[in-house]
Chains A and B, each alone.
Chain A
């Protein structure tokens, strides 16, 4: 079974600073990887996904992530944080169970943005 580890349950940055949210995965086969964002009391929205094409993936709201197979990582970055980026972020990896890809989620990282 595949697994996902998100380093740091909370990350705090100043507005305008670099955002870096870390995600490492374990997989015995090339994975599909995702980042989702969750605003308070809402469902999850897809930020971006890696599906074995380009290793640098660009998503919505200025976020991007780079797939590094040698490091088994898929870290999420944004050059300049905005107050509206404050939310919970989840990394996920697809795991093929019983013939159907089902994602496994990390525990989430809460991004706090200070003015």
Chain B
């Protein structure tokens, strides 16, 4: 069966420090991968998605970047964190089987607090 892992689960970082959040999917190949950010009362904001290795689409211009160095690995990064980067970050994947409906499978999330 397929599983998705995110780490770290919790992170407290000072303003101006770098960031790296990792996400890996197991049990599938060539998944579509997504990074969402969830801020209190604001729902889920799509940050990046990837349809293959090295292919990244950015939905919102901001202080963050994403990379996909391997088929089942998706990394969210920042060179210098801002206070506004605080939030709950969710990685998700989708498989190309059957009818493509957009159903996503989510990781457990990474809570980032920038002080």
Contact = CB atoms under 8 A, between A and B. Distances in A.
Interface stretch (B14-22, B41-49, B60-68, B79-87): B41-49
Contacts of B42: 107
Given A107-B41, A107-B43, A41 B102 contact: no
Interface stretch (A14-22, A42-50, A64-72): A42-50
Contacts of B100: 100-101
Contacts of A101: 100-102
Contact of B43 (A41, A51, A94, A108): A108
A98 B49 CA distance: 11
B102 A102 contact: yes
Say what secondary structure dominates the interface of chain B.
Answer: strand
What band does the interface of chain A fall in when counting residues whose beta carbon is under 8 Å from B? 20 to 34
A42 B6 CA distance: 11
A45 B102 contact: no
Contacts of B41: 9, 107-108
Contacts of A51: 99, 101
* Nearest 3 interchain pairs by C-beta: A101-B102, A43-B106, A94-B102
